Amino acid sequence: MSDLTEECLRILNKGLFEITDPGPLHQPISSFSIRRDDKLRLILETEAAPNATSAAVDQPPGTVRMTTERALLRSVGGLEGEFFGMVPYSKYRQTKGVTEQPLKELTQIHIAKTNNPSGAPAAYAIDWLENLPKSPYTWPAASEVVTRTITTRRISLNDGITIAKDTDWFNTSWNSAKVTVDGATFYVCALDREDRPGAIKPGCIVYDGAPDDEFRKKVRTGLSFAMGVYLVDLGTSHYDAEWNVVSTLARSAYSLRGHAFDIETLQLAPLGDRFLNELGAPQLTRAIQAFVTAFDVLDLANLHWAFWHACVATPHMAPAHFGATIEGLQSAYTKANPGKVREGWATPDEWKKLKGALSGIIADADVSVEAKQALQGNLHTFNDINQRQRLKDVMAALKLELGEDEDAAWRRRNKAAHGTPIPLGQEVAAIRDMKLLRGVFQRLLLRITGAADQYIDYTSPNYEYRPLCQAPPKMG
């Protein structure tokens, strides 16, 4: 391993691979290359004979389906490769005079893999990331790169003298953090753009060991929440004990359609003891461990997805997105903690009797059959607690204060969901509603998981640190 950069595309492009099973591609194929486009999608470019043919099945326009097409590869050195989720989308050929040129085809790839079947067992793993910022954070640990240059000068070749000199060049950067979660140790590292040409905010997670995909996904989710950044997952490389590549995987990455790089970095809670944006290893470890532990119970995979889409939503729709995310977290909490929050206005026994009585009244009422059917159909919702009261109950169970401004923002979120425009002159208030609802979510999440004891109030000047129980003060 020479450079700290994702290995998969380099190996596929330089590993002398032959496509043994072309899948939907036109064949015979004489050469190929694979790259990422500006949206971080994997694009395969193949060159085939002018009369190449394809076994792909033409899909009618508008067909919705899972793309399961694949192609298999093998290198002269015995490495195996695979392209999966293939969507050919462009082909072209040129004619110069009477000579027909090769057919060139472009294909979007969901996943690309390589594997060394004779490789040693994996001892290390690296998850390759985009949008892991070095700044504005102050990282707790440094990384050092040592580049050694050997210069040899021979004077009078046949019977002379040789002068040799080694020169070491050191580059040290504060850009990493060591974390141990569930007994697995890993290193979070924000890289320089020079480490990965074409990257924006490159980074990686280096594992001392080879934990499975599910655990690494939990870690990435926890790190994303803790640092307040949407981490773009590019893929993974596995290495043996000598840092030889065993297997690689690259995926067409999802970056919120490019908006991930525009989101302001806002960590959910203080991660240091001295100042904002300080990363302390103990605080970072606590937060990630808490999110990993709660991952399945709270369905953090879906909440993570919903939260970051809320963060990139436009101001007139963002309150609806944050509201849905908060409701999802509430539902996960009440499901995992039965009895902590009341399920309805009446108890189950009370409601059973009341429902029967109401059903009889509806049946005997002097209204149309259509009205009776509608009322009977909605009867099961009569005991449901409205979302405003549900939020108050959940926060009370967690010993969290619901602030006056938070309550008002929660009530106004429905206007966004129903397409109500922002009144002229209320634009600033609408933006603050976004911040308030994001703050409600972060307080709930931090309390339920135990990830921190304080939160950062982004609705107040100077980004005050507050105890989780304390709501942002009323403004104006």
Residue with tokens 């425009």: 421
Burial 255-293 (b: 16+ CB within 10 A, else e): bbeeebeeeeebbbbbbbeeeebbbbbebbbbbbbbbbb
Question: What is the percentage of the chain residues whose pLDDT exceeds 70?
Answer: 95
What pLDDT sits at residue 161? 76
**pLDDT single digits (tens) 400-448:** 999 999 999 998 888 888 888 888 888 888 899 999 999 999 999 999 9
State the Cα–Cα distance between residues 11 and 1, nearest whole angstrom. Answer: 12
Question: Where is 424: in which H helix or E strand?
Answer: none
In 3-state terms, what secondary structure has residue 396? helix
pLDDT tens sequence across 237-247 = 999 999 999 99
pTM: 0.89
Domain boundaries, the chain: 8-55+66-115, 124-286, 296-343+385-467
> How many Cβ atoms are within 10 Å of 10's Cβ, its own excluded?
17
CA atoms within 13 A on the CB side of 299: 17
Total length of the chain: 476
How far apart are alpha carbons 194 and 306 in whole angstroms?
A: 33
| 165-169, 196-200, 288-292, range with the lowest pLDDT | 165-169
Banded pLDDT at 28 (limits 50, 70, 90): very high
**What CA–CA distance (Å, rounded) separates 81 from 74?**
6
Nearest 5 degrees, angle CA 194-CA 196-CA 198? 90
